[in-house]
Structure 1
Amino acid sequence: MSTPLVTDDLASGLADQVLTLAESARSEDGVAPLSEHTLLRVRHGAPSGSSRFHVITEDDRVVGFALVERVPGEPDSGEVVVDPAHRGRGHGTALLRSVDRDAGPDGVRVWAHGRTPQAVSVAEGDGWTAVRALHKMRMPLHDIPAGEAGGPWEAPELPEPVLRSDVADSVRVREFVVGQDEEAWLAANALAFADHPEQGQLTLDDLLQREIEDWFDPRGFFLATTKDGKVAAFHWTKTHADGAGLTDGEPVGEVYAVGVVPSWQGSGLGRTLTLAGLQHLRDAGLPWVHLYVDGDNEAAVRLYESLGFGMWDTDVMYAPPGKGHSSA
């Protein structure tokens, strides 16, 4: 069992190898082992004190990797991946124990994306316990014929994204404007996700990094703004060129982030903007759309089910033994 290198600064040569490793694991397992946020940290680096990289190498080649994100007052949040050709050698266990030893004062928790048998076996075999679930839901945007993706699938009818009469005079729905709306969106995002340990902590640098990604399209980023220019709610959509596991390389959509600031909750803005984004993705000709929703967010699950989404898969977060079992 190798001892991981633990560092705040991932050298560029190692970063390139981590990206290659993550792609190899995605191809083997059919699910991405590292989230977009982690991949951006690998590519661009991380703000001082925010992240820790754990790296296992063999013959100068990266064969195991973990990233841990640190958020004050919350358990560290981590992700782990091992090269498919080097599994069964204890690297996954070594990485789990490394992030546990290096954890901040509130401990650490690690995601198993897609609950792959290998990840579940390593985590539970070392005594880690599932403490949080993140559901993955999907919906066809167009009818899928028999023989495709387990079809046939019938796309549901989508209502028009119309503002309720009691809010129509107070807000307007428009597209995000690059170079203008960043600060207003960040303020709304922080309010809407104040209790969310990942989404609510996004910074201007995080947003700017996403704006230069190939998938970023402000035409699919919808804001409900008030007369004084504040963002009351938003729906940010995303297109996955690789199919995100739903198709064999045909682009699909994602409900990337939907947020409503607390003072506007109950106004129907979340549903209206969700529909605006779904209409945008449907009009782009995409066959599928998917999303992630916390397992304990029953209201959101009901909303998405009412629109036609169904359960697809679940990511699970694990905590090490003796660290408590409450949900983050």
Structure 2
Amino acid sequence: MAPDDLLLVGDDALAAVTEVRRACAEHDGADPLDEAAHLRLKHDGLAGTDAWVTRDGFALRRGAEVDLAVAPPARENGLGGRLAELACLEPGKISAWSHGDHPAAARLADRLGFARERELWVMRRPSALPLPPVDPPPGVLIRDYGDRDAAALLEVNGAAFAHHPEQGAMDQAGLAERMAEPWFDPAGLLLAVGDDGELLGFHWTKQHDDATGEVYVIGISPAAQGHGLGRVLTLAGLHHLAARGVDQVLLYVESDNSAALRLYDGLGFTHAAADTHVQYRRAGRS
């Protein structure tokens, strides 16, 4: 590291991470950390995380995942590369996200032997567009979440996202953390329930602020798939957010999920190239 790249520890490191995140979000329009990393920092600080932090940037490694960010005024001077090299010295598989498809991230990934693995699209829909009515299948009720629904929600979430590396791992503690966030509203967590009370699916919405809502998570029980519940729950959530007065609704979707893309495109969501998050992965090496 260069002399100006003094590594920080403890509370100084945590404060620097917070300030770099703020500067990046303000400049780039996206937080350099995803929700899982945000919640870890909020509840555990840097405990259990290998951290290389300066006042102008940071690299955080937890297991096989690396998060890297450099404050906008300190970019183009090699700090990101120096931090990335430190975080990637240990052999083994590593993945890292570029929240926003930054050319500098692509160049750095190529230099360090990372390949482009996944693309996550942000799609947006103006609330001014008219919405079709919500028409649940016979025997299905759409209702708000209640405290007694937690176990069923986790069960459906785990089954629906069994092959999803992030969402499928949510447990009781993770659910509690999300429900403790300022944005949580039980009325924005919509459940599709059968005549027998069985939870068939859910649409968890999020309201970021007065102007922006989000299709946060839609999960359908494998036993209930193929009956149009995804579209019904999507519409129910969009109607809920429109009633809250948001100007637009956004969502995140894998770029190769053709069925979801058809659904969202048909409901008026669009994607701009700049609204692309990219995951890079380095294969294991010795």
TM value normalised by structure 1: 0.77
* CA apart distance, 1:118: 3.1
What residue ranges of structure 2 are gaps of 5+ in the alignment? none
| Contact residue 52 and residue 87 of structure 2 kept, 8 A | no
Q: Which amino acid aligns with 1:55?
A: W
Query: Is 1:93 aligned to 2:81, yes or no?
Result: yes
Shift of 1:184: 1.4
Alignment pair present for 1:192 and 2:160 = yes
Question: Take 2:194 and 2:90, find their aligned partners in 1: how far apart are those partners?
Answer: 45
Contact 2:68-2:80 at 8 Å conserved across structures: yes
Q: Which has the higher helix share?
A: 2
* Offset from partner CA, 1:112-133 (integer Å, 9 cap, x none): 0111233233223434221111
Q: How does 1:105-116 map to 2 (within 5 A)?
A: 107-116=93-102
Does residue 131 of structure 1 match 2:100?
A: no
Q: Tell me, in whole angstroms, the C-alpha distance in 2 between the residues paired with 1:207 and 1:14.
A: 28
Query: Counterpart of 1:208?
Result: 176
Q: How many residues align?
A: 281
Of residues 37, 49, 52, the one that matches 1:55 is: 52
Contact 1:26-1:33 within 8 A present in 2 as well? yes
Tell me, in whole angstroms, the C-alpha distance in 1 between the residues paired with 2:6 and 2:103. Answer: 23
Counterpart Cα distance in 2 of 1:46 and 1:267: 43
1:161 aligns with 2:134: yes
CA gap of 1:46–1:208, structure 2 versus 1, over 3 A, is farther
* Percent of aligned pairs with the same amino acid: 37
SS in 2 for 1:20: helix
Correspondence 1:81 to 2:41: no
Rounded to whole Å, the distance in 2 between the matches of 1:226 and 1:12 is 50
CA contact (8 A) 1:19 1:39 kept: no
Alignment partner of 1:66 is 2:35: no
CA–CA distance in 2 between the matches of 1:17 and 1:42?
12
Q: Match of 1:111, SS?
A: strand
- Structure 2 distance, partners of 1:14, 1:112, is 22
TM-score, normalisation: structure 2? 0.88
Compare 91-100 and 114-123 and name the one that shifted more: 91-100
Counterparts of 2:193 and 2:89, CA distance in 1: 45
Paired residues of 1:235 and 1:274 also in contact (CA < 8 A) = yes
Point out where structure 1 has 5 or more consecutive residues left out of the alignment: 71-75, 143-154, 242-249
Whether the 8 Å contact between 1:176 and 1:219 is mirrored in structure 2 is yes
- Cα RMSD over matched residues? 2.6
Q: 1:285 to 1:36 in 2, by over 3 A?
A: same
Q: How does 1:151-300 map to 2 (within 5 A)?
A: 155=129, 157-164=130-137, 168-169=138-139, 171-177=140-146, 179-241=147-209, 251-300=211-260
| 3-state DSSP of counterpart to 2:81 | helix
Partner deviation per Cα, 1:266-318 (whole Å, 9 max, x = no partner): 01111101000000111111110110101111110111001111113211111
